[in-house]
Amino acid sequence: MEREQFVRTVLASVRDSGVEDAEYADDEFSVRLGTGRVIFLGNIFRECEHLDAAESQDRIDAFVAALTSSDEVPGDWESVRPLLRSVLRPVTLGQDGPRPLHRAAFPFVDEVVVVDLPRTRSFVSTTQPAEWGVDADQVFAAARSNLAALAQPGAPENLQVLRFFDAGDSYTASWLLVPGWLAGYAGGQFRPVAFIAENDSLLVVPDDPELLVGVFEMVEQQYRDAARPISPQGYTVNADGAVVPFDEAGEHPSMPLALRARAGLAATEYSIQTEYLNNTFEEYLELPELDIEPAYAASVNYEESTDGAFTSVVWGEGVEYLLPETDVVRFLRRDDAGEVELVCTVPFPTVVEVLGLTPLPTIEPTRFEARTWPTPEAMTRLTAADLER
């Protein structure tokens, strides 16, 4: 469904629901209701983009019905506390609008909190905890406690190919946030590996290398096709029972598959952010919330080597950048003949150390401001660390 047709369909659905005073704001890609409520359309548009007309209409009608319902978030802590749930969402959630209350759960995946209402889920904003007279830590603690009551416990003897689907109130894809839940399946012949390709399903399998070949491939496709994707990565438990990305859990025959998923997730999330940043610079000539002057938001490149997949970014001479945090940086410049040459390829941590780069505040995923080409002295140090010498 094209964007203009999508907006017309949303506005028609809003009016059919009995709301006459609705106004579309193109700059925010949102609909503002007469009540003052703002409905941001980015996620639902992506969900409908590849659906046929009938499926899109049904999805939009359900979306509008939920958001125009009379369900209200309680205004006091005692009433809202039992309704809170922790959920896993991509780090770029809310990139083009107000970001909800959030904290990092895994690389490129955040823990956010919703209020579980009869007909909808409402994200908790960054200002609501204060309105309830509590702090953010108390909100997250209550949300996790409520989530733990929903999670079905497991045991090592139960570890096989396990699929959990969210019927609307079980929050299965977020059970990884419950301390000890995934570790409950550990202790047998295999470690448990969990996958959360999209926000309404959870897959848990043994780390059998032969099995994981097909599972990683299946999950990658599910992630690509999902209307509301979360991650193509596998997640397992470390020696302490904590949930970690599979590529951070030690050597395993399936490591190349894990590295592919890791690099794919990074490239995907950064691509969403890159588009947002460059569009914002084009419109406002700065990042309004940070007072940062225009710079080129560099893209993340997905690459493969004999050691597995990795991410890279290009730093070209004479360009001001907002650099994404990748595995390596490739420095490029023109030689005396005007041809582009590769100067060196350097691990990102080394670049940060040599050049003293610092991450920009509040930008997630992380970006580093790089306005000037390295000095000759710095370039000598970077070249000495060239991975491809």
How crowded is the C-beta side of 2, counted as CA atoms within 13 Å? 2
pLDDT tens profile 94-153: 877 778 999 999 999 999 999 998 777 889 999 999 999 999 999 999 999 999 999 989
Residue 338 lies in domain: 268-385
Asked whether residue 263 is assigned to any structural domain, the reply reads no
Q: How confident is the model at residue 7 (pLDDT cuts 50, 70, 90)?
A: confident
Residues 276 and 246 in one domain: no
Distance CA 107, CA 261 (A): 12
Residues 309 and 213 in one domain: no
157 or 291, greater pLDDT = 157
pLDDT tens profile 191-239: 999 999 998 889 999 999 999 999 999 999 999 998 889 999 999 999 9
Residues 359 and 292 in one domain: yes
The pLDDT score that the predictor gives to residue 292 is 79
* 167 pLDDT above the threshold of 80: no
Across 168-179, average pLDDT? 90
Number of structural domains found in the chain: 4
| Exposure letters 129-156 (e unless 16+ CB within 10 A, then b) | beebebebeebbebbbebbbeebeebee
Residues 42 and 100 in one domain: no
Residues 278 and 350 in one domain: yes
Asked whether residue 224 is assigned to any structural domain, the reply reads yes
How crowded is the C-beta side of 321, counted as CA atoms within 13 Å? 24
Q: How confident is the model at residue 1 (pLDDT cuts 50, 70, 90)?
A: low
pLDDT tens profile 111-120: 999 999 877 7
Please report the sign of the dihedral spanned by the C-alpha atoms of residue 71, residue 74, residue 78, residue 83. Answer: positive
Asked whether residue 156 is assigned to any structural domain, the reply reads no
pLDDT tens profile 290-338: 777 888 999 999 999 998 999 999 999 999 999 999 999 999 999 888 8
The pLDDT score that the predictor gives to residue 45 is 84
Residues 54 and 92 in one domain: no
Asked whether residue 84 is assigned to any structural domain, the reply reads yes
pLDDT tens profile 16-51: 777 777 788 887 788 887 766 777 787 788 778 777
Residues 294 and 338 in one domain: yes
Asked whether residue 179 is assigned to any structural domain, the reply reads no
The pLDDT score that the predictor gives to residue 255 is 97
The pLDDT score that the predictor gives to residue 70 is 62
* 53 pLDDT above the threshold of 90: no
Residues 220 and 311 in one domain: no
Q: What percent of the chain shows pLDDT beyond 90?
A: 65
Residues 284 and 361 in one domain: yes
Distance CA 203, CA 246 (A): 14
Domain-terminating residue out of 20, 50, 68: 68
Asked whether residue 316 is assigned to any structural domain, the reply reads yes
pLDDT tens profile 59-93: 788 777 766 666 788 899 999 999 999 999 999 99
The number of residues making up the chain comes to: 389
Domain-terminating residue out of 47, 68, 89: 68
The pLDDT score that the predictor gives to residue 293 is 80
Asked whether residue 174 is assigned to any structural domain, the reply reads no
Total-model pTM: 0.85
Residues 138 and 246 in one domain: no
Asked whether residue 96 is assigned to any structural domain, the reply reads yes
Domain-terminating residue out of 48, 68, 88: 68
The pLDDT score that the predictor gives to residue 270 is 97
Residues 351 and 272 in one domain: yes
Residues 90 and 48 in one domain: no
CA dihedral 168, 173, 175, 181 (to 10 degrees): 130
